[in-house]
Amino acid sequence: MFAFGAAFPSDVKPGDCSVFWGARAIWGGYTDYIDLLPDRQQIQGPGGIDDGPVEESRMELSDWTNKTGLPALRKWAKNVSQSSSEEFVIRDGLFGLRASPNGSYGYMYIRTWKLGVESVETKEEADAEAAAA
């Protein structure tokens, strides 16, 4: 499966996503500096690395990650130690980010995703049916 990054939240599955990205970044604790190394990150579609997401989804996820997800993570990371196993999760419409140092003393494991519209509609229908029951 996916070699780098935090695990998905329990309610998000890779098959629900049009694209997802993960990284194991260098991070010193109590700082907003998160060093994303090119050989410690991957982006892929729900079918695996060879199932490349469409370029539009990649660009949308990249834009959201850089403009919304990572700035929020950096703000949170300034107050977290390297030995922490705390998690940071942000959700914003179709997009989400989950990250944690996992008590690693030097890394930040990061996962971002963009849900497919079909997945969102299916979950909304299931929620509506459950509420009606």
Q: What is the pLDDT of residues 93-128, one digit of tens each?
A: 999 999 999 999 999 999 999 998 766 555 566 666
14-132 belongs to CATH 3.30.465.10: no
Q: What is the pLDDT of residue 1?
A: 40
Alpha carbon distances (Å) from 122 to 32, 72, 97, 125, 129: 37, 28, 21, 5, 11
Neighbouring C-beta atoms of residue 9, cutoff 10 Å: 14
Query: Which residues partner with 34 through β-bridges?
Result: 27
Neighbouring C-beta atoms of residue 42, cutoff 10 Å:
14
For the segment 17-35, the average pLDDT, to the nearest whole number, is 94
The token pair that represents 131 in the structure block: 């509420």
Q: Identify the helix (H) or strand (E) that includes residue 126.
A: helix 117-132
Domain locations in the chain as residue ranges: 14-132
Q: Is the entire prediction scored with pTM above 0.85? A: no
The upper half-sphere exposure of residue 76, i.e. CA atoms within 13 Å in the direction of its Cβ, equals 19
Give the residues across from 54 on adjacent strands: none
pLDDT tens-digit series, residues 37-89: 999 998 887 665 555 557 788 899 999 999 999 999 999 999 999 999 999 99
